[in-house]
Structure 1
Amino acid sequence: MADLIKVAAVQFDPKIGEIEENRRTIAEKIVYAAEEGAKLIVFPEMAVSGYVWESRKEISPYVESVPGETTNRLSALAAKYGCYVVVGVPEVDPTTNVYYNSAVLIGPQGVVGCYRKTHLFAADARWAREGKEEIPVFETEIGRIAMLICMDAMYFEPSRMAALKKADILAFPTNWVGKGINPPSKTWRLRAKENGFYWIASNRSGTERGAQFTGGTGVISPSGEVIDELVSGEGIVFSEIDLSLNQTEKLLKMRNPKAYQDILLNPYLWKEGETRLITDPVEFDLVSISAQHPIEHLQYIIRTIPFNTLNRLVVLPEITQEITNRPSKNERETLMKISAKYNIHIAASIRKGSNLSGFIIQPDGTLSENIEVHSDGSKNLDEPHFLTVILPFGRVGLLIGGDAQLPESYRALAKQGADIIIVSLGNDGETELWMQRIWAFENDAVLAAAAHSAEQSMLFLHSQVTNEESNSAFLHQTLTPEMTNKVRNRPFLRRLNHHLYDSIAIDPSHILLEKAGATQ
Structure 2
Amino acid sequence: MLVFSFGAVFAADSNSNTGDLKAFKCAAVEFNPQLNERDENINDLYQVVETAAKNGAKLIVTPEMSTTGYYYKNRDAIKPFVDTIPGITTKKFETLAQKYNAYIVIGMAEVDQGTGIYYNSAALVGPKGYMGKYRKTHQWETEAHWAAWGDLGVPVFDTEIGKIAINICMDSAFFESSRIAALKGANILAFPTNSSAQALAALQARAVQNGLYIVSANRSNTENGFHMIGASAVWAPDGSKLAEAKFIPTSAEDVNEPTILYGTIDPAQYNNDGKKRLSERRPELYKDLVLYIGPWDYTKNTTPHDVTAVALQYEPVLGDKNANMAKIGQLIEQSVNEAKNQGKTVDLIVLPELSATGPLSDKGKVQQLAEPMDGSLVAGFKELAKNNQTHIIFGFAEKENDKLYNTAVLIDPKGEVIGKYRKTHLDTADKSWAEKGDKLEVFSTEIGKIGIMIGYDAAFPEVAGVLSVNRADIIAIPSSWNGQYGKKIEANTGMSANKYPENAMCLWDSIAMSAECYTLVANFVGTEQNYQGSSSLYTLDPLYGLDQPLALSQDGEEFLLADFTTIQASWWWNQEYLILQRRPHFYKPLVY
- After TM superposition, the score normalised by the length of structure 1 is 0.89
| 1:275-354 map, 5 Å | 275-276=298-299, 278=301, 280-293=303-316, 295-304=325-334, 305=336, 306-307=339-340, 312-318=347-353, 319=355, 321=357, 327-329=369-371, 330-351=376-397
Of the structure 1 ranges 448-457 and 252-261, higher mean CA displacement relative to structure 2 is found in 448-457
Deviations along 1:255-310, whole A, 9 cap, x unmatched?
1111111111122322x4xx327485444331111112453223323333225566
Of the structure 1 ranges 479-488 and 19-28, higher mean CA displacement relative to structure 2 is found in 479-488
Runs of 4+ aligned residues of structure 1 deviating over 6 Å after TM superposition are: 323-326, 377-381
The count of aligned residue pairs is 498
| 1:472-491 map, 5 Å | 473-480=558-565, 490-491=576-577
Q: Which amino acid in the other structure matches residue 474 of structure 1?
A: F
Q: Which amino acid in the other structure matches residue 497 of structure 1?
A: R
User: Which residue does 1:451 correspond to in 2?
Assistant: 523
1:442 shift after superposition: 2.4
> Judging changes above 3 Å, is the alpha-carbon distance between structure 1 residues 34 and 135 closer, same or farther for their aligned structure 2 residues?
same
Q: Is residue 473–residue 567 contact of structure 2 (8 Å, CA) maintained in 1?
A: no
Of the structure 1 ranges 149-158 and 244-253, higher mean CA displacement relative to structure 2 is found in 244-253
Q: Report whether the alignment pairs 1:498 with 2:584.
A: yes
Q: Distance in 2 between matches of 1:112 and 1:196?
A: 24
- State which of 533, 546, 551 in structure 2 corresponds to 1:468: 551
Q: Distance in 1 between matches of 2:418 and 2:185?
A: 41
| 1:70-219 map, 5 Å | 70-178=89-197, 185-219=200-234
- State which of 278, 286, 309 in structure 2 corresponds to 1:252: 278
Deviations along 1:122-175, whole A, 9 cap, x unmatched?
221111111122100011111111011111111100000000000011111111
Q: Which amino acid in the other structure matches residue 266 of structure 1?
A: Y
Q: Distance in 2 between matches of 1:277 and 1:53?
A: 35
Q: Which amino acid in the other structure matches residue 378 of structure 2?
A: R
1:416 shift after superposition: 2.0
Q: Distance in 1 between matches of 2:419 and 2:567?
A: 29
| Aligned-CA RMSD value | 2.7
- Identity score, percent: 31
User: Which residue does 2:421 correspond to in 1?
Assistant: 370
1:28 shift after superposition: 1.3
1:465 shift after superposition: 3.5
- State which of 383, 395, 398 in structure 1 corresponds to 2:452: 398
Q: Distance in 2 between matches of 1:446 and 1:484?
A: 14
Q: Give SS of 1:185's match.
A: helix
User: Which residue does 1:417 correspond to in 2?
Assistant: 471
Structure 2: where are the runs of 5+ without partners?
1-17, 248-254, 317-323, 489-504, 526-531, 541-545
Q: Is residue 199–residue 220 contact of structure 1 (8 Å, CA) maintained in 2?
A: yes
Structure 1: where are the runs of 5+ without partners?
507-520
> Judging changes above 3 Å, is the alpha-carbon distance between structure 1 residues 280 and 173 closer, same or farther for their aligned structure 2 residues?
closer
Q: Is residue 425–residue 450 contact of structure 1 (8 Å, CA) maintained in 2?
A: yes
1:320 shift after superposition: 5.7
User: Which residue does 2:252 correspond to in 1?
Assistant: none
Q: Is residue 464–residue 483 contact of structure 1 (8 Å, CA) maintained in 2?
A: no
User: Which residue does 2:319 correspond to in 1?
Assistant: none
Q: Give SS of 2:482's match.
A: coil
Q: Is residue 283–residue 480 contact of structure 1 (8 Å, CA) maintained in 2?
A: yes
Q: Report whether the alignment pairs 1:8 with 2:54.
A: no
- After TM superposition, the score normalised by the length of structure 2 is 0.78
User: Which residue does 1:510 correspond to in 2?
Assistant: none
Deviations along 1:467-501, whole A, 9 cap, x unmatched?
32436711223445686775986222221111110
> Judging changes above 3 Å, is the alpha-carbon distance between structure 1 residues 309 and 192 closer, same or farther for their aligned structure 2 residues?
same
Of the structure 1 ranges 50-59 and 24-33, higher mean CA displacement relative to structure 2 is found in 24-33
Q: Distance in 1 between matches of 2:303 and 2:164?
A: 47
Q: Distance in 2 between matches of 1:277 and 1:416?
A: 8
Q: Is residue 146–residue 170 contact of structure 1 (8 Å, CA) maintained in 2?
A: yes
Q: Distance in 2 between matches of 1:156 and 1:407?
A: 7
Q: Is residue 308–residue 561 contact of structure 2 (8 Å, CA) maintained in 1?
A: yes
Q: Distance in 1 between matches of 2:565 and 2:162?
A: 50
Deviations along 1:219-264, whole A, 9 cap, x unmatched?
1111111111211543211222111212253120231111111111
Q: Distance in 2 between matches of 1:105 and 1:466?
A: 38
Q: Report whether the alignment pairs 1:239 with 2:263.
A: yes
Q: Distance in 1 between matches of 2:455 and 2:227?
A: 40
Q: Is residue 14–residue 49 contact of structure 1 (8 Å, CA) maintained in 2?
A: yes
> Judging changes above 3 Å, is the alpha-carbon distance between structure 1 residues 194 and 488 closer, same or farther for their aligned structure 2 residues?
closer
- State which of 261, 270, 277 in structure 1 corresponds to 2:287: 261
Q: Which amino acid in the other structure matches residue 280 of structure 2?
A: M
Q: Is residue 228–residue 239 contact of structure 1 (8 Å, CA) maintained in 2?
A: yes
Q: Distance in 2 between matches of 1:62 and 1:488?
A: 33
User: Which residue does 1:230 correspond to in 2?
Assistant: 245
Q: Distance in 2 between matches of 1:118 and 1:297?
A: 49
> Judging changes above 3 Å, is the alpha-carbon distance between structure 1 residues 266 and 310 closer, same or farther for their aligned structure 2 residues?
farther
Q: Is residue 455–residue 481 contact of structure 2 (8 Å, CA) maintained in 1?
A: no
- State which of 505, 512, 516 in structure 2 corresponds to 1:440: 512
Q: Distance in 2 between matches of 1:323 and 1:203?
A: 43
Deviations along 1:400-436, whole A, 9 cap, x unmatched?
0211222111111111221110010113332453332
Q: Give SS of 1:448's match.
A: strand
Deviations along 1:100-133, whole A, 9 cap, x unmatched?
0110000122110011111111221111111122
Q: Is residue 11–residue 44 contact of structure 1 (8 Å, CA) maintained in 2?
A: yes
Q: Distance in 2 between matches of 1:322 and 1:178?
A: 39
Q: Give SS of 1:9's match.
A: strand
Q: Distance in 2 between matches of 1:253 and 1:358?
A: 24
Q: Which amino acid in the other structure matches residue 514 of structure 2?
A: E
Q: Is residue 149–residue 172 contact of structure 1 (8 Å, CA) maintained in 2?
A: yes
Q: Give SS of 1:385's match.
A: coil
Q: Is residue 171–residue 177 contact of structure 2 (8 Å, CA) maintained in 1?
A: yes
